Amino acid sequence: MGDNSTMSQSTSFMYESFSDVPTSIDWRKKGAVTPIKSQGNCGITTEEGYPYQPVQETCDTEKQINRVDVIINGYQMVPTNDEQALLKVVANQLVSVAIEGYGQDFRYYSSGVYTGDCGNALSHALTIVGYGTSDEGLDYWLVKNSWEETWGENGYMRIQRNVNTQGRLCGIAMKASYISSIIS
């Protein structure tokens, strides 16, 4: 554990029942979202530290970047299957979610609001970076993927929200978490 005297103060955010949320938000427009990366076959480090190469091989655990911008000091889970609670948290910050993401239509998604046939066998991680309503009137979650910019809408996907199924579409509301404390 060493001396943390060079660390700046801890910043905390605890989930509250926010009553006022905007009708839409896109955290990319506020500069809060990092660029899309390609996880390749590993998903261990950044593309800069371990460039994707389209060959079948094992991951090289020696390739790492030792850069630390912040230390996550705590996280909170969003109440399971509660899309309204999820909406309130996303109105205030990015949220990590697990979804079912191995179906063909998901893997080959290219544009529009995804309304595909997926269940809730959680298999893939995404980050919710916003929400809104499409021109066609479909409410959606704006999510960041890690399959490079050529996938979806420049690396992003809009997944239908307010779907009346257990776990919501693709299980997006089953396992959602957000950072509650950081040391910068």
DSSP string of 106-162, one letter each residue:
HHT--SSEE-----S---EEEEEEEEEE-TTS-EEEEEE-SB-TTSTBTTEEEEE-S
Which stretch of DSSP H or E encloses residue 86? helix 83-90
Q: For residue 147, what are the β-bridge partners?
A: 38
Quote the DSSP letter at residue 12.
E
Evaluate whether 168 touches 176 at the Cβ level (below 8 Å).
no
Q: For residue 156, what are the β-bridge partners?
A: 144, 153
**pLDDT at res. 53:** 77
- State the Cα angle at 65 between 10 and 71, rounded to 5°: 10
- State the Cα angle at 26 between 24 and 29, rounded to 5°: 135
**pLDDT at res. 6:** 38
Phi/psi for 182 (5° steps) reads -135, 155
**pLDDT at res. 63:** 61
**pLDDT at res. 161:** 93
CA distance 123 to 114: 17
Q: How many helices (H) and strands (E) does the chain have?
A: 2, 9
CA distance 16 to 76: 11
Report how far apart the first and last C-alpha atoms of the chain are (Å, whole number).
17
Q: What is the CATH class of 10-183? A: alpha beta
Which stretch of DSSP H or E encloses residue 11? strand 10-12
**pLDDT at res. 180:** 87
CA distance 132 to 153: 15
**pLDDT at res. 5:** 36
**pLDDT at res. 2:** 39
- Print pLDDT tens along the chain (184 aa): 333 333 344 444 455 555 678 999 999 999 999 888 776 655 545 666 667 778 887 766 666 556 667 788 899 999 999 999 999 999 999 999 999 988 888 989 999 999 988 888 998 999 999 999 999 999 999 999 988 899 999 999 999 999 876 657 899 999 999 998 888 7
Return the number of other C-beta atoms located less than 10 Å from residue 107's C-beta.
11
